[in-house]
Structure 1
């Protein structure tokens, strides 16, 4: 159950009618702030109370915090509904400025801590972060990092340009003890227990092959060479003196793809041996084509299955036979409709470089292969996600005793035509003594997702009956039913009346009031001490 708060004041709760929203969606993506949007109608008690750029907005799924951020783009529509757009906590780093700096020797964690410290000094308490785990390291032999800036940049620009783009890794936010922690992790090792499985919750699949970053020859360039006065020149450190050649080549790659040369800059490397190691890594990364797999899937935790919900930055098992996938993949983005749980989906992606496709020699051929793969996956995906055949029927039967009208809709396994997966049926039966409406639903559900294909079956029958002028409402086998008679409304329990309304009065076998009891202008109200008071509540 989703709930939204603004500065700890309730905005949305689906169980409270007055705290409703008319639209609501959440979009999360790794290393971005994320966006939460919702629309508050005018009759919501919290209407108009959100402060632009100042109010802290939180979104919970039961007790799990999904989003924390601020409102930054409110809009009032024609009907005076308040459309709120919120950005996540990482956007707080746009509020602080980092002065010019020259950081030549040190580890990643120390520089990261310094950047966060400067940010915290410029913002309010609710926008500060505590540095947690830092597992990203530099790629030099000593692990030291060289960073500098001559400009006044926002903290987010520094984090994005000087850390993520150059070192990779992921920012992860944690909330513990009322504090917000930020981790900078080389990889995310959190594992979820909900699978993506073809024919169950897979929505779409796409496989793309690209040669955009393909190279068989690398020219690595290091830092600028300094003159006698210690000033930078226009020359770069190369491998010429160390190896006699500025290039690093791969013979097998050249035979397979031809000579494709790429220049890679390493401005922080001042030693030729370290430049050689970096160039060798660059060549290994550039060899081969890139295969990217993107999947979309539905979240079964919102459909009654006993699995944990999808969570951003977690690895989950993926089994897609059409693509030959059976491995754990990282959830890179989430899209949640707060008012339509059935439409919630995730997108996960995985990219691998491979040197195996030796028959592919040109970029044009790669495009053709990519096009064919996408068309094949599109066809296979449509088969995977629609594996049931819909069959609809209606008929009317007449006899001397009754008239029976039936409308039904059934779904059958496409591969096993006689296997009924789900059916919904409405039957209206008219006799001389009355009319009966029966609603029947039959459903086959997979009991478990992880490797167990056993099924469970559920059949629910509900009815509305008109008998001798009375109306009966209930579910077959349920001890509680409602009977509307000519002079009373009867609540039945196991066939006997337990309570009823008659002549503007309510009669019950037993009664219990959870909070208070009001009689006209007076009421029995519990006190905080545990005592009960009878007092006047209306003048």
Structure 2
């Protein structure tokens, strides 16, 4: 499914070919890992006899993984670290780690600058232009589509001397959100900065269909059930503004639902720019409402049935899919933030699902629903067990009937055996009678032949007697004539 090519300057070498030829080059193994706002990687093992074995150079050898099925590039980047090793049996291989083209942003550094009233797109362009000024042509980017905005669309940022990729993460992504995506158009490499990549798909990840394993983690460690809001420092003091004056003399706010579920968990949050107690109370209440949600993480192993034509969509990073597992009370659209592909088993994809959040009430309802589902499953199991017991009894009865039937069949077979013997004896007697009849027929035939011979001989004798009689008659006639002549004295 994947053809893998490496490039050194203008020289291309295929190191994994899709061919039935036993001599075609192939990797020993390989996996691709995609993620959001991360530098993707491709790792593989290559044998000593592969034509590309000695052509894998760190940071300079380019690597492309082409998905032959849909003619798209699954990975494009460069060799990062080739490691050669020998096993105990003397086999020599290389383990190679490659990084995607986002890694080029680690080859440059930002320079000091202070930027006021600048848009998100313009600030990103400052960073990318600086990158392009430091790298070769093959590592340059053009700023593409930017849909991330600041509330005021007017940033105030400083830049220091850090790697370009780290600067984009810190100054833009971590503060404004958004996701990076490399896009090619007319041979130009664009870097898009989007609010969100991907879309909602209809292909389900479902138990008994394509879901193999799922791991769900619910993390309540960020919950604060009793919050102490703190404002700015009071004059000439390290003491800070609190909410006691507007909260019945109490300096904290309770989240009753969270306390009921997790007990009292106390923490404080400081707002240095808040100088009014009422505003501080409001800020604290808003923070509790936003913060006190359960973080859910999932790790899924699912079969990508699109590779064998049984599903329309494949699993792609950024897309969301309906994930359904009634046993764990999961039925929601979940977004893939990471995907690992085995190049020799592309149908088996390991997926990581991004953080989801639910409030305390939903968390409690989820537990109740899960318990109810477990009870339903137990009831179904009990019903199934009873059904199996009934079926088992019926099977036992059936076995008894079959046993009796076998006895009848055995007796019938014995009777048939006796009858077969009798028929065989009758057949033998008939055959003896037939043989005797044939012998008698031969005897009669011989007698008939003898009689015919005698008849023929008799007929021959009659013919001879007739001839003699004729001769005698002729002789008598001649004698009679002679007698008359003598009497008449005619000579």
For the criterion TM > 0.5, the same-fold answer is yes
Query: Are the equivalent residues in 2 in contact too, given 1:333–1:346 (CA < 8 A)?
Result: yes
Equivalence for 2:6: 6
> Which TM-score applies when normalising by structure 2?
0.62
CA distance in 2: counterparts of 1:224 and 1:67, whole angstroms:
53
The 5 A counterparts of 1:465-484 are none
1:81–1:181 distance in 2 versus 1, CA, 3 Å: same
Alignment of 1:512-527 (within 5 A): none
Work out the CA distance in 1 between the residues paired with 2:283 and 2:116. 19
Counting only pairs closer than 5 Å after superposition, residues 71-110 of structure 1 correspond to structure 2 as 71-78=79-86, 79-110=91-122
User: How far apart are the structure 2 equivalents of 1:118 and 1:266?
Assistant: 35
Equivalence map 1:335-414=2 (5 Å): 335-356=340-361
Q: State the shift of 1:53 in Å.
A: 0.2
| Aligned-partner Cα distance in 1 for 2:76–2:362 | 45
Aligned to 1:195: 204
Aligned residue in 1 for 2:144: 132
Q: Does structure 1 retain, via aligned residues, the 8 Å contact 2:34–2:317?
A: yes
Q: CA deviation at 1:194?
A: 3.0
Compute the RMSD of aligned alpha carbons: 4.3
Is 1:153 the counterpart of 2:162 in the alignment?
yes
Q: Which residue of 1 aligns with 2:47?
A: 41
How many Å apart are 1:170 and its aligned residue?
1.9
Deviations along 1:433-487, whole A, 9 cap, x unmatched? xxxxxxxxxxxxxxxxxxxxxxxxxxxxxxxxxxxxxxxxxxxxxxxxxxxxxxx
User: Are 2:337 and 1:332 aligned?
Assistant: yes
- Is the contact made by 1:299 and 1:310 (CA closer than 8 Å) also made in structure 2? yes
Q: Distance in 2 between matches of 1:234 and 1:40?
A: 66
1:328 deviation in Å?
Answer: 2.2
Greater mean deviation of Cα atoms: 104-113 or 203-212: 104-113
The CA distance in 2 between the partners of 1:218 and 1:270, in whole Å, is 16
Cα distance per residue 1:335-363 (max 9 Å; x no partner): 11112345433232441121206879xxx
| Among candidates 285, 290, 303, match of residue 295 of structure 2 | 290
Query: Which residue of the partner structure matches residue 205 of structure 1?
Result: 214
The count of residues paired between Structure 1 and Structure 2 equals 361
Shift of 1:2: 0.6
CA contact (8 A) 2:297 2:353 kept: no
Asked whether the 8 Å contact 2:293–2:357 carries over to 1, the reply is no
Describe the SS at the equivalent of 2:300. strand
Distance (whole Å) between structure 2 residues aligned to residue 358 and residue 190 of structure 1: 26
**Which whole-Å CA distance do the structure 1 matches of 2:323 and 2:44 have between them?**
32
- 2:65 is the alignment partner of 1:56: no
SS at match of 1:93: helix
- Structure 1 pair 284/102, CA: closer, same or farther in 2 (3 Å)? farther
Q: What SS is found at the alignment partner of 1:39?
A: strand
On the 8 A contact 1:170/1:184 being kept in 2, the answer is yes
Shift of the 274–60 alpha-carbon distance from structure 1 to 2, 3 Å rule, reads farther
Structure (1/2) with the larger strand percentage: 1
Higher-Rg structure is 2
Residues 85 and 94 in structure 2, CA contact (< 8 A), matched pair in contact too: yes
Shift of 1:217: 5.6
The answer to whether the 8 Å contact 1:297/1:347 transfers is no
Return the offset for 1:157: 1.7
Q: Do the aligned partners of residues 50 and 291 (structure 1) sit closer, same or farther apart at CA in structure 2, a change above 3 Å counting?
A: closer
Higher relative contact order (CA 8 A, sep 6+): 2
The 1-side partners of 2:3 and 2:240 are apart by: 57
Gaps of 5+ in 1: 228-232, 361-365, 384-415, 418-539
User: Is the 2:225–2:259 Cα contact (8 Å) retained in structure 1?
Assistant: no
Partner SS for 1:81: strand
Distance 1:312 1:288 in 2: 25
Matched residue SS, 1:32: coil
Aligned mates of 1:4, 1:271 — CA distance in 2: 62
In 1, the alpha carbon distance for the partners of 2:145 and 2:282 equals 28
Question: Residue 191 of structure 1 aligns to a residue in which SS?
Answer: coil
Q: How many Å separate the matches in 1 of 2:351 and 2:296?
A: 20
- Could you state the TM-score of these two structures normalised by the residue count of structure 1? 0.57
Secondary structure of 1:190's counterpart equals: coil
Aligned CA distance change for structure 1 residues 84 and 300 (closer, same or farther; 3 Å):
same
Higher alpha-carbon deviation: 25-34 or 293-302: 293-302
Question: Cα 1:155–1:281, aligned 2, differ >3 Å: closer, same or farther?
Answer: farther
**In 2: Cα distance, 1:116 partner to 1:278 partner:** 37
Distance change >3 Å, CA 177–CA 199, structure 1 → 2? same
Q: Deviations over 1:60-114 (max 9, x none)?
A: 2121111111101112232343332101222221111112233343333322222
Whether 2:330 is the aligned partner of 1:321: answer no
Q: Which runs of 5+ in 2 are unaligned?
A: 381-390, 393-491
Work out the CA distance in 2 between the residues paired with 1:266 and 1:112. Answer: 29
